[in-house]
Chains A and B, each alone.
Chain A
Amino acid sequence: MKKSKNSKIAEKKRIELLELLKNRGLEIYDDLEKSKFPKFSIPSRSVSNIVYDKKLRQYILGNSTAIRSAGNMSQLRAFTQLVWLAFFANQLLSEQKTSTLRDIYYSSQAFEVDFEDQPESDNIIVDLEAVLARAREDFQIFPEERSSIFGDLTIEYTVPGYEGKRSNLSDHPDGYLIGPSLNTAEFVDTSAELVIAIEKGGLFTRFVEEKVDKKFKAIIVDTAGQAPRSTRYILRRLHIELGLPVVILTDGDVYGEHIAMVIKSGSANAAHLRELTVPDAKWIGVWATDIEKYKLPTIPMTESDIKRIYELQKDPRYQHGNWKKQLEVFLKIKRKAELEAFSKYGLTNITDKYLPQKLELAKSL
């Protein structure tokens, strides 16, 4: 039984962020009082400013910044939108309410800040993340996509109305949705020794049915394809706060390999954020080499699969080791296999045979 070392961490973060927002507000207020055009400096998110940091083992933004100024006519609207968002986030945080990306778009309409569409408001949200160096989840904004989690983990909610209430994530066989309340909950207790992230909902259900959580003392997380940021955030917390190793199981194709890579070391899209990666996570399969080894039924790769391989071969993280090798094998065989392919040898083949072998192998990775 481990107790969360970081209790009250969420509350502390909230107070800090409120302070940060207030300071930004003050700066603008003072400028306006002096009839000066307020401005923000925002780390540039252009491709040329995204660099791979070997020490952090993730993509980060370089040093170049862009000034967004109210004095520039073409930036005035975006600047106002950014300040509005800060104002709105401040409100969410103080009232401890959450919001979705879509909510933000509609909420904005009451304030006449003229977002043309949701992609535009989404983009301003990313700007605010960059300005504050905080993930949007920190200021209570969550995407709609949700993935699930299952396993023996007791949590204590911090969201208003549920403060102090506890749940165990193995109580419900469909798993728990990874949403705002889970993200802000404190981890109380767990017997798990491992986290298994799996790309597909179908396999997640199979793993619950096959009691993989018990057999392998694992918390199972469904990433539902490319893992949403809230999921990556939970994975990171499980690893850092509870010290659990994370392994990742994906389809045997180039996209699967990259899903694992993003969980491990982030995506270029979120290069402005630092708290979303699990640098020690391990991709255990399905590897290109497994296709041959386990005689899996395969399907041919498409044009775009192959194009994607060439793209990833330029990424610095794919320049060595197993990552590099698997890409090369994929390119050589030009075929891919899904996780379900193991069903050819019986529905439980994947949990009975493949998983134990791979977990054993992972220890040496």
Chain B
Amino acid sequence: MIEETFHQISPSEFFYRNRDLAGFSNPTRSLYTAVRELVENSLDACDQKGILPDVHLSIKALDSEQPDPKQYVLTVSDNGPGIDPKYVPLAFGTVLYGSKFGLKQSRGMFGLGATMAILYGQITTNKPVTVKSNVDGKTQEEFVLLLDIQKNKPIIQKHTKKDHLKRGLSISIVLEGDYSKAGSKIREYVYQTHLITPYASIKFDGPRKAEDDHQSYLKIIRKMPPPPTIIKPHPYGIDVETLRRMIADTHYQIPTVDNKMIAKVRKELGLQKKNLDVKGILDRAQRRWKNLSRPVRIVIALISFLQMEFDSLSKIRIDDIDVDNKKLTFWDFGESITRTIEMNPSSFYYKQLANTVQGETLTSFLAKRFQRVGLTTAIKFAEFAKLKPEKRIGSLTNEDLVKLTDSLQKFDQFLSPDPGCLAPLGEEPLGRGIMKKFNPEFAAVIQRGASAYSGFPFIIEMGIAYGGNIHSSGIEIYRFANRIPLLYDEGSDVVIKVVNEMDWPRYKVKGDVPLAIFSHICSTRIPYKTVGKENVADRLEIERELRLALQFLARKLSIHMSKRGKVEMAKKRANLYSKYIPLLARFSTKLAGKKKEPDCRQMIKVSEGIEEV
């Protein structure tokens, strides 16, 4: 067997390995992606704190004389909460550092968008990133950062503070880009972002003088959708790895036996001032056992095995409690060595320790850590999964874990995921955006009820528009996911698939008509096909909801189309009659051998008004 070697990869390696997936494949796409990542971070930050966003995006060429691709300064500033100066270097200096891993609806998901953009900038131009953060509306702290690519660590080149009244974050990177090619997509992105975020003001300043490079989009509405909330995961869709992590952090942590803890133990035993030997402590603890807190009970158990009173206890650090092998390992500060002692399994304290280390019971774990699971359901579930309800989660073997994960997907009595955490845009704002963009002859919108795919709740919002300033060369499709416009990789997107599979003639849509469709998918987890976040995979449940939404809208459209057909018919009729009736008059006059033609004006007028006979 060949032995595999594992090693950690550096951020730059990470970047190179994932640049295509993350949307940094070439100067055109990279400029676009960098704009996206920064703007979306700003909007996310404001959403989370319920602030109506004001975002300013600016792209300036370092040397405008040079041909593309060249270096651009990309700056995005917002009026959001800013980032606590402590975390600025971490948030922007390391890959996979993000605050959005919890389950809630946000644009960012992976914790690498901004860092990828910064890395890309640094790799292509060797220039640092400048972050200005103001969290309190009083001082602004400015950081100039380079990433130490070897160590995955930020290097702070400059850190200054100054008085400043406006809250928010501003981030500025220098990167290689091709605006001549990316420009139209960036402008479209800003515009569509404005449509799907009608409560935000977005100002855009591009590198060119042209008018379309200097646009201010003002808020269309001033009411924010409620900020998304963090929720517990739903059992459907959980995987083994996530479950393992959840169990790991529910484990009752081995308490650190520091001075603070010792003080706590003394207090609960009423020994603040008094020192007792080991036996004395244990006796006293026995008498008060019922009133002791859990951490204190554990310390007592440790004392029983270590045979140490408070003083000695403060000179060691517990390293490991191996319940299965009945071994207790600790570090002795005094002698600077690791010692291991045996624990007597028949002792009352051993059980106490085992319970704690092995964690809570399966049922209480499920009920506490998952949404839509109560104790009763948990017990029913345990039966279904053929696992003991009182089984300690710390004692689950790998096979147990797989079995548990499996059964969680299969058990059909969990209520569907709670959509309360989702923040769709709402029918009215969506409709307004559509009216503003197209000034259409007809428009309709719908928000479907919440639904779920593998444990993640989602909501589909959709709009349709006909006529106005929509072009009539095929259906225009505008895709959004968690308020992000998706402009690339249309080919493989589920929305496109659903639109293309519609039986349009059935809805009186024939040939190339001026038709536009807006689709917005909100979810705690959008099933993107890549980390570039550009196209949504075709999950059965999502596809179905999209289809139902589209059919609903298409039915409304078809009613409009038949009305419209009637009006057109009447027009056509009027034209026909005003053309042919005079001809009939003329021919029949000749045929009949008359001189004067009959007067048909009345007839033509009447025929314009009548319905088909």
Chain A contacts to B: CB under 8 angstroms: 21-22, 24-26, 28-29, 32-33, 35, 37-38, 70-73, 76-77, 79-80, 83-84, 86-87, 90-91, 111-113
Inter-chain contact A73/B612, CB cutoff 8 Å: yes
The 16 sampled A-B contact pairs (Cβ below 8 Å) are A22-B592, A26-B588, A26-B592, A28-B588, A32-B600, A37-B603, A70-B581, A73-B577, A77-B576, A79-B580, A80-B580, A80-B583, A83-B588, A87-B590, A90-B590, A113-B583
**Minimum distance in angstroms from A77 CB to a CB of chain B:** 6
A25 contacts B591, C-beta separation under 8 Å: yes
Complex Cα distance, B600 from A224, in Å, reads 49
Closest to B583 in A: A80
| Chain B residues within CB distance 8 Å of chain A | 569, 572-573, 576-577, 579-581, 583-585, 587-594, 598-600, 602-603, 606-607, 612-613
CA of A91 to CA of B607, assembled, Å: 30
- Chain B: CB-nearest residue to A88: B587
Q: A73-B573, A113-B583 are in contact. Are A25 and B592 (CB under 8 A)?
A: yes
* A38-B584 in contact given A32-B598, A33-B598, A76-B576 (Cβ < 8 Å): yes
Q: How far is the CA of A77 from the CA of B580 in the complex (A)?
A: 7
A95 to chain B, nearest CB (A): 13
Output the nearest chain B residue to A91 by Cβ-Cβ distance.
Answer: B590
CB-CB nearest in chain A for B590: A87
Contact A83 B603, CB 8 Å, known A70-B584, A111-B583:
no
Instruction: Specify which chain A residues have a CB less than 8 angstroms from the CB of B606 in the assembled complex.
Output: 35
Beyond A70-B581, A70-B584, A77-B576, whether A24 also contacts B598 by CB under 8 A is no
Q: Which of A32, A71, A90, A111 is the most central at the interface, judged by chain B CB atoms within 10 Å of its CB?
A: A32
Task: Give the dominant DSSP class at B's interface.
Answer: helix
CA A105 to CA B590, docked complex, whole Å: 20
Contact present for A80 and B584 (CB under 8 Å)? yes
Distance in Å from the Cβ of B519 to the closest Cβ of chain A?
Answer: 40
Residues of B within 8 A of A83 (CB): 583-584, 587-588, 591
Contacts of A24 in B (CB 8 A): 591
Q: Hey, which chain A residues are within 8 Å of B599, CB to CB? A: 33
* Contact of A71 with B602 in the complex, beta carbons under 8 Å: no
* B584, B594, B602 pick with most chain A CB within 10 angstroms: B584
On chain B, the residues within 8 Å of A80 by CB distance are: 580, 583-584, 587
Q: Are A70 and B593 in contact (CB under 8 A)?
A: no
A25 to B592, CA, bound (A): 5
The main secondary structure of chain A at its interface with chain B is helix
- Which residues of chain A come closer than 8 Å to B592, judged between CB atoms? 22, 25-26, 28-29
CA distance A26 to B594 in the complex (A): 9
The 3 A-B pairs at the shortest CB distance, nearest first, are namely A25-B591, A25-B592, A28-B588
> Smallest distance from the beta carbon of A287 to chain B beta carbons, Å?
50
Is A71's CB under 8 angstroms from B613's CB? yes
A32–B607 Cα gap in the complex (Å)? 13
Contact B591 A21 (CB under 8 A): yes
**Do the beta carbons of B590 and A76 come within 8 Å of each other?**
no
- Tell me the bound Cα distance from A84 to B591 in angstroms: 9
Question: Beyond A76-B580, A80-B584: 20 further Cβ-contacts under 8 Å?
Answer: A21-B591, A25-B588, A25-B593, A26-B592, A28-B588, A28-B592, A29-B594, A29-B598, A32-B600, A35-B603, A38-B584, A38-B588, A70-B581, A71-B607, A72-B612, A73-B612, A79-B584, A87-B588, A87-B591, A113-B583
Find chain A residues with CB under 8 A from B585 CB. 32
Give the Cβ gap from B565 to chain A, nearest Cβ, in Å: 13
Contact A70 B594 (CB under 8 A): no
Does A28 contact B584, Cβ atoms closer than 8 Å?
Answer: yes
User: In the bound complex, how far is the Cα of B607 from the Cα of A321, in angstroms?
Assistant: 58
**B577 proximity list for chain A (CB < 8 A):** 73, 76
How far apart sit A86 and B583, CA to CA, in the bound complex (Å)?
Answer: 13
B576: shortest Cβ distance to chain A, in Å? 5
Tell me the nearest residue of chain B to A26, going by C-beta.
B592
Q: Contact: B589 with A35, CB < 8 Å?
A: no
**For A33, what are the chain B residues with a Cβ–Cβ distance below 8 Å?**
598-599
CB distance from B608 to the nearest CB of A (A): 11
Alpha-carbon gap, A76 to B603, bound state (A): 13
Of the listed residues A21, A33, A112, the one surrounded by the most CB atoms of chain B closer than 10 A to its CB is A33
A343 to B577, CA, bound (A): 64
A38 to B613, CA, bound (A): 14
> How far does the Cβ of A298 sit from chain B's closest Cβ, in whole Å?
53
Q: Closest CB of chain A to B456's CB: distance in Å?
A: 55
Select B603's contact among A25, A32, A87, A90, beta carbons within 8 Å: A32
Given contact pairs A35-B602, A77-B576, A29 touches B583 in the complex (Cβ within 8 A): no
One of A25, A38, A84 near B583 (C-beta < 8 A): A84
Q: How far is the CA of A80 from the CA of B583 in the complex (A)?
A: 7
With most chain B CB atoms within 10 A of its CB, the pick from A29, A79, A80, A113 is A29
